[in-house]
Amino acid sequence: MKPVKVGLLGLGTVGTGVVRIVQGHQEDLRSQVGSPIQIEKILVKDANKVRNIPIDPGKLTEDAWEIIRDPEIDVIVEVMGGVDSTKPYILEALERGKHVVTANKDLMALHGPEILAKAQQHQCDVMYEASVAGGIPIIRTLIEGFSSDRILKIMGIVNGTTNYILTKMSQEGASYEDVLKEAQQLGYAEADPTSDVEGLDAARKMAILATLGFRTEVALEDVDVRGISGVSKEDIMYAKRLGYEVKLLGIAERQDEHISISVQPTMVKFSHPIASVNGVFNAVYVHGEAVGETMFYGAGAGELPTATSVVADLVAVVKNLKLGVNGQKTMVPYNEKKLKSDEQIACKNFLLLHVEDKAGVLAQITQVFAEYEVSLASVLQQPNADNPDAEIIIITHDASKASMDKVLKHFERLGVIRKVKSVYRVEG
């Protein structure tokens, strides 16, 4: 029985997990695909490095092209990361008729449509389940599970680092700075955490999910991004008092063929399932026109959860190879992209204002909202012994982004408002 031969680009955390699963689950894999799956060659930075898994040194190479151009290799599994250095390998592999499995969210967010078009041209598979939400099979679900439905909304926690930070701030009342240091010490956050905490990692994942969910080509610059570095423990305290958790949510919505995609700290009602997703876990909520509301939950990162998604993609490629149907399920975006204007983007909003503590202030503030046709769901004045100013909390009904921008601009020149302390989207 001829084995299917795999070239593995990268032997870091995920690559090691892939080797563990393929070596340890040979009997299961063979029963699923009808032949052995054999890792033929592995790209590493240093072939002489001591490793914690048994690997034949003869399979290691420091030259990626040796793997890409090997005619014996059927499938390339890319878990090395990077964009500029990796893209040429992937395109060359597809040119040579090799199928590709990748965990590279940056590559797929920036160059996904080009790579998928190349795959379709050469009748190759490109699978990238592990690029979003680790072990959660959300990409296959969007492509296959929702193929007969029309997705209206995708909302999710797709970055474990920021969810860990916000969870610790909520549960322990700790500051953002203190929890970030702890996350770095535990290895949940990078030494330079910018990509995670400023929402860039989540934005790349949401570009991929929105492209698949709405069948249109969503670029990274189409995502409105705001991170969590401005979230204070006071914000979280007020949110909890009102019945909300603060989560960094990716939100993609469709209405009348127009779409919007954002990543932002959001106040989520306790009763919404996403509010109870804590620690480094991820969750993706999908609202279909026919199926209604569904949610997918699980480990968003880590060696074995992510490697499990990679190997599941590898199994899918090999099954297609046996059936002779590679390249037939490639989802190339086909809908025209129509982005919502600021007038069309609408949501509920939370505002925390520091204002002069005197009569008539509230009337002036509510007059500004009325002027721009923003209706209020609740208004609450909170005593704060540490603040000589009055603190007013306002939650609006659904209001357009354009109207809210006008309200906030007006507040800048309203003398009784000392400071607009916080503004958050509200969900649930």
Instruction: List the catalytic residues.
Output: 205
Identity of the residue numbered 11: L
Distances (CA, A) of 364 to 95, 99, 370, 375, 408: 65, 63, 10, 14, 14
Distances (CA, A) of 297 to 104, 114, 308, 385: 20, 30, 15, 41
Neighbours of 57 (CB within 10 A): 8
| Burial class of residue 1 in the structure, from the number of CB atoms within 10 Å of its CB (0-12 exposed, 13-18 middle, 19+ buried) | exposed
N- to C-terminal Cα separation, the chain: 54
What is the C-alpha to C-alpha distance for residues 146 and 213, in angstroms, rounded to an integer? 8
What is the C-alpha to C-alpha distance for residues 275 and 268, in angstroms, rounded to an integer? 6
CA angle 340, 161, 182 (to 5 degrees): 145
Q: 62 is written with which tokens?
A: 């420091």
Q: Give the count of alpha carbons within 13 A of 59, CB side only.
A: 17
Largest CA distance in the chain: 85
Helix, strand and coil content of the chain, in percent to the nearest 5, comes to: 40, 25, 35
Nearest to 214 by CA among 262, 155, 142: 142
The answer to whether the beta carbons of residues 98 and 125 sit under 8 Å apart is: no
What is the C-alpha to C-alpha distance for residues 204 and 251, in angstroms, rounded to an integer? 12
Q: Look at the block and give the residue holding tokens 């202030």.
A: 361
What is the C-alpha to C-alpha distance for residues 310 and 254, in angstroms, rounded to an integer? 30
Neighbours of 423 (CB within 10 A): 18
What is the C-alpha to C-alpha distance for residues 253 and 153, in angstroms, rounded to an integer? 4
CA 333 to chain centre: 19
What is the C-alpha to C-alpha distance for residues 163 and 185, in angstroms, rounded to an integer? 16
